[in-house]
A and B are shown apart, each in its own frame.
Chain A
Amino acid sequence: MFEKVLIANRGEIALRIHRACREMGIQTVAVHSTADADAMHVRLADESVCIGPASARESYLNIPAILSAATITGADAIHPGIGFMSENAQFAEMVEEHGFTFIGPTADHIRIMGDKVTAKKTVSDLGLPVVPGSDGPVPTLEEAEKIARDIGYPVLIKAAAGGGGKGMKVARNPEQLREAYQLARGEARAAFGNDEVYIEKYLGRPRHIEIQLLADLHGNVVHFGERDCSVQRRHQKVIEEAPSPALNAAQRDFIGELAARTTRGFGYRGVGTMEFLFEDGQFYFIEMNTRLQVEHTISEMITGIDLVREQIRVATGAPLGYTQADIRFHGHAIECRVNAENPETFAPSPGKIGGYHAPGGLGVRVDSALYDGYRVPPHYDSLISKLVVHGTTRNECLMRLRRAIEEYVIGGIDTTLPLHQRIIAQPDFINGAYDIHWLEQLMGMKK
């Protein structure tokens, strides 16, 4: 088992990782920017190292500073968290080259899944259904026009180096294709340094269904069921629930098994999530995230298994120690991502928290680094809390969630709690009848 783990991240996920380490008797090193000197996980960690000024590029994305911090503290392993460098193959490689264990998959797998074109090809070759589209990158407008004609409009032009909902443009008809194609390439170059794009059929009313996977270093792979993350705004998840109200038991077993078998097929290790679009009973692979996800929490609630602990455990080389049959699903869980933003305009709202009271009670979990008097810095993403609720049935879960949101007080800044209250009161949500366009339609952002 590791003696000391360096947490190369910040905010609520850094606190999450610290907690898992602490429960395993592992010492923690919190690296932080100057802006995060008073962060909760920095205060709780066994050691802390300031690695740079507020800007992410000079701190959380600063590979030499992080490796240096690991060296001077004598850490054994580095946990990359979510975002930042968790899917940076070069970082993973350098960590291992310097003698630390990277808590995650190999650099090769990060690379393969990080390029959305090779990811689709890899899983497709192993028999996984994918969204119909170009079989590879689309280097010219002429090819784009031909492919769009073949697969049928509307189409989605996506950055090969993108992911996480970023770098995508829709073309609903041939007239829109030229501009969408050129914009997509320009944005991809600016955002990812790589203007390679591919094309997919744009599905009309799909749900976003993803499978949580865990693989040890000995070829054992299990899945922890699906998560329905269809409630999205601008391709960013807002609410997630597990299990999905749209799947029956047969569909759940089918896609879980298929995802696990495919993952075993390319020798993966660590946690990972395969994301699919689900429409008319069909699953279509869109991408795989080779890291822990924000919404891992709801899978933990319905299985009772600590996924961060498992992630750390398998990274030490330990075998899983259990099989798919040992994983049982109980009840229903929903997570609300609470952002420091105005709930109507989504204008960012950093600043000092005045008056903080988190809800409690049976089946209520709050993953947050907030505390009374804490100052939410303006330099990073706006996720400040995850309210996670579990119930024995979906109905009980919904009632509990409504009650828990009412209790939750985050004073001094704007938060999206009122948006969540509005969403969970909608009949469509209560009936589980929503797809990935639903929230934006509700908010009047699209027809």
Chain B
Amino acid sequence: MATFDIDGDLIRKIADLLRETGLNEIEFAEGDKRLRITRSAPAAAHVVHAAVPAAAPVPTGSASVAAAPTTGAAHPGAVTSPMVGTAYASPEPGAAPFVKVGDTVKAGQTILIIEAMKVMNPIKAPRGGTVSEILVADAQPVEFGEVLMVIE
């Protein structure tokens, strides 16, 4: 292989040129010698084609009532769903709901029912406190981990 004399001055000159002009890369060839100088730029943003939308989570029943959920599961008072099913706010259709916003609840008190495979599962308050937010509407499908209520 032919030896390749590295011309330090030339490289320095080119590096300056790159900096001045804001270019990232220069390559030139002479005969069978080729020189490429690249200025490492901060990681370029990936070109993402067909941005992958997040799949719609199970459609919230009355989206207008629940509003865009601003309360995440990380909220200390969040009560999250332990199962997949349909949440019911009242013990039976037409009856008063278990709890309303503003109610005081005791630990172990039933706050909702989640129905799965025809079995009604009472959901109990994990701690005592005041119901500050109810994020599911009556007969709304819920998934595991979904925030149902906030008790503070």
Say whether B35 faces chain A, with CB atoms less than 8 Å apart: no
Say whether B23 faces chain A, with CB atoms less than 8 Å apart: no
The stretch from A38-46, A171-179, A239-247 touching chain B is A38-46
Give the residue of A40, A51, A71 whose beta carbon is less than 8 angstroms from that of B52: A40
Beta-carbon contact of A72 and B46 below 8 Å: no
Q: How far is the CA of A400 from the CA of B145 in the complex (A)?
A: 46
In the assembled complex, 29 residue pairs joining A and B whose CB atoms fall closer than 8 Å, in A order, are: A34-B144, A40-B52, A43-B54, A46-B56, A47-B55, A47-B56, A47-B58, A48-B56, A49-B58, A49-B84, A49-B143, A50-B146, A51-B84, A51-B143, A52-B144, A53-B144, A64-B84, A64-B117, A65-B83, A65-B144, A68-B84, A68-B116, A69-B58, A69-B143, A71-B86, A71-B117, A72-B85, A73-B58, A372-B46
Q: A367-382: contact bitstring with B at CB < 8 Å (1 yes, 0 no)?
A: 0000010000000000
| Residues in A whose Cβ lies below 8 Å from that of B56 | 46-48
Residue in A closest to B146 when the chains form the complex, CB atoms: A50
Q: How far is the CA of A40 from the CA of B59 in the complex (A)?
A: 20
Beta-carbon contact of A43 and B52 below 8 Å: yes
Say whether A98 faces chain B, with CB atoms less than 8 Å apart: yes
Give the residue of A42, A47, A69 whose beta carbon is less than 8 angstroms from that of B84: A69
How many interface contacts (CB-CB < 8 Å) are there between A and B? 73
Q: How far is the CA of A52 from the CA of B144 in the complex (A)?
A: 5
| Residues in B whose Cβ lies below 8 Å from that of A67 | 116-117
Say whether A30 faces chain B, with CB atoms less than 8 Å apart: yes
CB B118 to nearest CB in A, in angstroms, measures 9
Instruction: State how many residues of chain B have any CB contact under 8 Å with chain A.
Output: 20
Additional A-B contacts beyond A48-B56, A48-B58 (19; CB < 8 A): A30-B55, A34-B144, A42-B55, A44-B52, A44-B55, A45-B55, A46-B55, A49-B58, A49-B84, A50-B57, A50-B144, A51-B144, A53-B144, A64-B84, A65-B116, A69-B58, A69-B143, A72-B85, A73-B141
Say whether B53 faces chain A, with CB atoms less than 8 Å apart: yes
Interfacial residues of chain A within 61-83, with CB under 8 A of chain B in the complex: 64-65, 67-69, 71-73
Choose among A34, A50, A53, A98 the residue with the greatest number of B CB atoms under 10 Å from its CB. Answer: A50
CB B89 to nearest CB in A, in angstroms, measures 16
Beta-carbon contact of A48 and B83 below 8 Å: no
| Residues in A whose Cβ lies below 8 Å from that of B59 | 47
Residue in A closest to B84 when the chains form the complex, CB atoms: A68
CB B104 to nearest CB in A, in angstroms, measures 30
Q: How far is the CA of A47 from the CA of B54 in the complex (A)?
A: 9
Q: How far is the CA of A356 from the CA of B128 in the complex (A)?
A: 49
Give the residue of A40, A49, A51 whose beta carbon is less than 8 angstroms from that of B57: A49
Instruction: State how many residues of chain A have any CB contact under 8 Å with chain B.
Output: 26
Given contacts A68-B85, A72-B84, contact A50 B55 (CB under 8 A): no
Q: How far is the CA of A47 from the CA of B84 in the complex (A)?
A: 14
Q: How far is the CA of A300 from the CA of B55 in the complex (A)?
A: 28
Given contacts A42-B55, A48-B55, contact A65 B84 (CB under 8 A): yes
| Residues in B whose Cβ lies below 8 Å from that of A45 | 55
Residue in B closest to A49 when the chains form the complex, CB atoms: B143
| Residues in A whose Cβ lies below 8 Å from that of B117 | 64, 67-68, 71, 98
| Residues in A whose Cβ lies below 8 Å from that of B85 | 68, 72
| Residues in A whose Cβ lies below 8 Å from that of B84 | 49-52, 64-65, 68-69, 72
Q: How far is the CA of A353 from the CA of B53 in the complex (A)?
A: 20
Residue in B closest to A69 when the chains form the complex, CB atoms: B84
Beta-carbon contact of A50 and B143 below 8 Å: yes
| Residues in B whose Cβ lies below 8 Å from that of A53 | 144-145
Beta-carbon contact of A68 and B55 below 8 Å: no
Given contacts A30-B55, A40-B52, A43-B53, contact A68 B145 (CB under 8 A): no
Q: How far is the CA of A73 from the CA of B55 in the complex (A)?
A: 13
Interfacial residues of chain B within 100-122, with CB under 8 A of chain A in the complex: 116-117
| Residues in A whose Cβ lies below 8 Å from that of B141 | 72-73
| Residues in A whose Cβ lies below 8 Å from that of B58 | 47-49, 69, 72-73
Residue in A closest to B145 when the chains form the complex, CB atoms: A50
Q: B40-59: contact bitstring with A at CB < 8 Å (1 yes, 0 no)?
A: 00000010000011111111
Q: B18-51: contact bitstring with A at CB < 8 Å (1 yes, 0 no)?
A: 0000000000000000000000000000100000
Residue in A closest to B82 when the chains form the complex, CB atoms: A52
CB B127 to nearest CB in A, in angstroms, measures 21
| Residues in B whose Cβ lies below 8 Å from that of A372 | 46
Interfacial residues of chain B within 68-98, with CB under 8 A of chain A in the complex: 83-86
Q: How far is the CA of A45 from the CA of B53 in the complex (A)?
A: 9
Beta-carbon contact of A64 and B52 below 8 Å: no
Residue in B closest to A43 when the chains form the complex, CB atoms: B52
Interfacial residues of chain A within 162-215, with CB under 8 A of chain B in the complex: none
Q: How far is the CA of A47 from the CA of B53 in the complex (A)?
A: 11
CB B79 to nearest CB in A, in angstroms, measures 16
Q: How far is the CA of A219 from the CA of B2 in the complex (A)?
A: 72
| Residues in B whose Cβ lies below 8 Å from that of A73 | 58, 141
Interfacial residues of chain B within 113-152, with CB under 8 A of chain A in the complex: 116-117, 141, 143-146
